[in-house]
Amino acid sequence: MDLRARAWIARGPNGAPERDTGDMSAQESVTVDARGGTPDSRSELFHLSDARRAAARRLGHKLADKLLGLPSAADQPNGTEEP
């Protein structure tokens, strides 16, 4: 499952957009339970809603970090964090 969003800051109702994040995304895998060799649609609903919630939460954090100017792991050399 793939979720996409973008964010920006507007200083007031008619303010021009500032610090646009551009399109960002978060992916989440969905588990499929099988009963008797066929997918179980009842459990699929629970897994799908959990996956959506997890992806949305992760994407929200990524958008907020970018708006605040915080570095991402990709911005660090070799994916290391700063001390």
Q: Per-residue pLDDT tens for 36-80? A: 777 777 777 778 888 889 999 999 999 999 999 988 776 666 655
Question: What CA–CA distance (Å, rounded) separates 80 from 71?
Answer: 11
| pTM above threshold 0.85 | no
pLDDT reported for residue 75: 64
Task: Please list the residues that pair with 3 across neighbouring strands.
Answer: 26
**Is residue 17 a contact partner of residue 8, using CB atoms and an 8 Å limit?**
yes
Helix, strand or coil, per DSSP, at residue 42: helix
User: What backbone torsions phi and psi does residue 74 show, to the nearest 5 degrees?
Assistant: -70, -25
Token pair 């997890």 in the structure block, residue: 54
Q: Please, which pLDDT band fits residue 32 given cuts at 50, 70 and 90? A: confident
